[in-house]
Amino acid sequence: MQVFTNAIVLSKLKYRDNDLIVKCYTEQLGVVSFLIRGVLKSKKGASRVAYFQLLSQLQLNIVYKGNRSLQAITETKLNHQYTSLHTHILKSSIVMFLSEVLSSTLQEEEKNESLFKYIETTLLWLDTHSNYSNFHLLFLLNLTKYLGFYPEDFNTDYQYFNLSHGQFELKKTDRYSISGENLILLKQLMGTTFDALYLVKINAKQRQAFLNMILLYFELHLGSFKTPKSLKIFNQVFN
């Protein structure tokens, strides 16, 4: 079956001497992995490798066969030409970190246009904005809307939030009830947009603490989720 679809690169892995295995999140088919044969053995192939940088946005022509774990691509085009995501050190660190999160959380081979559009548009926002220090926090929080465990938005005046239940609480019920600075920031982020994100003022220590909390939130609600290996490097670079 021939399929034309937009796609976002989640990961790539060298296979044998000259091939790549690339995992993408596609608009039409969900998560799909591809075998790109011979792409590493020629100068002409080098230009094709550049297409498959992490979180690149592509247009793919796919020969899709449901009984295969690795699909074939007949044509690749860039859908959006980033201006800074792969060249700015801080933004490229965000890209590396978020690609690992998305690779861990997006497992389904099914169409989800609203989720695809969310990832596509927010990456374009990041590429074109210079005030983005809290981007990854809002990105992860909003991602939970599409994964099915966004915090319930009533009783937000309560002084605790339970990570396990995804609810605000009047009093602390267990070890997953959070309060203090993380709670304040959670409420701020739930009430903001990416364009207003510059108004959220926190320091590096607070940012790292909230990131650790939101990653725990993912672990509690997604059995397959693992803390990204790039987290330590990300924190070192970003802070």
Same topology between domain 1-81 and domain 85-239: no
- Which superfamily is assigned to 1-81 in CATH? Nucleic acid-binding proteins (2.40.50.140)
pTM of the model: 0.94
What's the CATH fold of domain 85-239? de novo design (two linked rop proteins) (1.20.1440)
pLDDT digits (tens, 9 = 90+) for 140-168: 999 999 999 999 999 999 999 999 999 99
Closest alpha carbon to 34 in 51, 165, 191, 42 = 51
The radius of gyration of the chain from alpha carbons, rounded to an integer in Å, stands at: 19
pLDDT confidence bin for 59, thresholds 50/70/90: very high
pLDDT digits (tens, 9 = 90+) for 74-100: 999 999 999 999 999 999 999 999 999
Give the Cα separation of 80 and 100 in Å (integer).
Answer: 21
pLDDT digits (tens, 9 = 90+) for 29-57: 999 999 998 888 766 655 578 899 999 99
What are the residue ranges spanned by the domains of the chain?
A: 1-81, 85-239
